[in-house]
Amino acid sequence: MILLLEGDKWRSRRKLLTPAFHFKILDDFLEVFNKHSQKLARRLQAKADGEPFDIVQDITLCALDAICETAMGRSLNAMDDSNSEYVKAVTRIGYLVQQRMNIPWYQPNILYRLIGPAKEHDQCLKILHDFTNDVIKSRRKAFQEKKKQGRADNETNSSGQKKKLAFLDILLEYSENGANLSDRDLQEEVDTFMFEGHDTTSVAAAWILHLIGSHPDIQEKIFEEQRSVFLDKGQFVTMEDLRQLKYLENCIKEGLRLFPSVPIIARELKEDVIINNYTIPAGTNVDIITYRLHRDPEQFPNPEIFDPDRFLPENCKYRHPYAYVPFSAGPRNCIGQKFAMMEAKTLMSTLLRHYRIESVTKREDLKVTADLILRSEDGIIVRLFPRKDTLP
């Protein structure tokens, strides 16, 4: 998978996958984001009674539905069936991986199989891999049939609309019948996209909603921007709408500054690096703590204050380019960052047009924990209230 590859193999895979995230392809994904964001907004009506609840689970199921449809072109219906075998396996495997990382005697394979939950880990992986492989098999068959019949890539469905390609469909085109990407390669990339794409986005959205719910003045500025963009328009977010939602985007960026989904980035040095007259030799593993980096007072004065105006162009002008790296940076930056920002903006816009949110837990009382991603131990507890002046 591209996340773990190195050297020439990584470069060739990255070059192969990058076109899959072209803005024209992401434009097709926007319809999926809208559909599931609207569905989440409807489902939250039952909880919009002012009673406290943890919003993380609801957003996570929505993100799972969105990522499954965009990655594999298959409906998971996680919001309707949160107890499905696949949903439970996705949730559990993250916990098991983190547990193994934190317990030294679980790390050797022989000990993990003797005294660890290796059997449960393997069962979860089998569920995930079987699901992905079944989709790959059916999509490859459909893809080969389409090529055999000479059907164009811009074919339409029964409603006359252009059929949307999933991430897997795009990879199948690039695979050249296995010459560039084998079925195992496809499975690894789709699984990575699924695992990395749903958890990071859902947790980021929950943290940002907590921050917005703690600042009523900022929330009202967001709503006023929504009013200016969506008044007299339909309920679905368009690409043009996303471009106009500047303040919301700055709120998301500021939320990712304070609570980056990936709190630690690890790199192996390929050459000696000198920092403050100290030489760190090549071959050293270096951890970049984004959670701390984003709180550098020289780059971000009053770093604990939630201030979306930090990301106004005039305030970013002289900031060090690597002071803010929620999606990493350099050649190995997150290939899906535009995808993630589109999904987050669509989700936030939809929810904040329908509801006013209040955070229950104070910032100083949050129990932040760095698992594979940055979480709150007790969830993100909020209250929701329907807006009387709901926009479309």
Query: Binding site membership for heme: which residues?
Result: 334
Looking at residue 249, its amino acid is E
Q: Strands of 107-202 (E only): list them.
A: none
DSSP 54: E
CA distance 373 to 101: 13
Only one residue has tokens 């569920």, namely: 127
Sheet bearing 53-54, strands edge to edge: 53-54, 381-386, 355-359
For residue 271, give the nearest of 261, 284, 289, 258 by alpha carbon.
Answer: 284
3-state helix, strand, coil in the chain (%, to 5): 60, 10, 30
Buried b (16+ CB within 10 A) or exposed e, 113-136: eeebbbeebeebeebbeebbbebb
DSSP letters spanning 308-362: GGGGSHHHHTTS-TTS--BTB-GGGS-TTHHHHHHHHHHHHHHHHHHEEEEE-S-
Coil, helix or strand for 385? strand
Coil, helix or strand for 162? strand
Evaluate whether 237 touches 345 at the Cβ level (below 8 Å). yes
Evaluate whether 59 touches 205 at the Cβ level (below 8 Å). yes
CA distance 307 to 311: 9
Feature table: binding site = 334
Distance, first Cα to last Cα, the chain: 40
Torsion of CA 62, 64, 68, 74, to 10 degrees: -60
Evaluate whether 299 touches 322 at the Cβ level (below 8 Å). no
